[in-house]
Amino acid sequence: MHMKTYTASHLSEGNKLFACKITIDDKGVTLKVPGFLSGKESTVLYNHISAVDIESPMIGYSTIYIETTGDGKITAHGFTKAEVTEMKEMILSRM
């Protein structure tokens, strides 16, 4: 299997200077949120993912929600509807 990275649009809310990135690979899902002096990176293994939901408005950018078992929720905004749909399918096929 290969790794795929999705980058949020700089035009979307919360991603003006530093856009978040989601990487899906053989091990799990990694969310990277860069910052000016520091950043945040979270990785969730597939066996810790309990649900994947997407929100796709008719106009605007879509959001993906990844529910985890005990670790809370990962939320990323600023992707196209096609991107979040593809991410959801990739994650669910690996769970």
- Residue 2: phi and psi, rounded to 5, are -115, 170
Q: Please tell me the pTM assigned to this model.
A: 0.85
Predicted confidence (pLDDT) per residue in 18-52, tens digit: 888 999 999 999 999 887 777 888 899 999 999 99
All structural domains of the chain with their residue ranges: 4-94
Per-residue pLDDT at 19: 84
CATH number of 4-94: 2.30.29.30
Count CA atoms within 13 Å of residue 66 on its CB side: 29
Residue 65 DSSP label: E
| Cβ atoms within 10 Å, residue 30 | 17
Q: For residues 71 and 54, which has the higher predicted lDDT (pLDDT)?
A: 54
Full strand arrangement of the beta sheet holding 73-79: 49-55, 62-68, 73-79
Q: Give tens-digit pLDDT for 70-85.
A: 877 888 999 999 999 9
pLDDT at 16: 62
Answer whether 77's CB lies under 8 Å from 15's CB.
yes
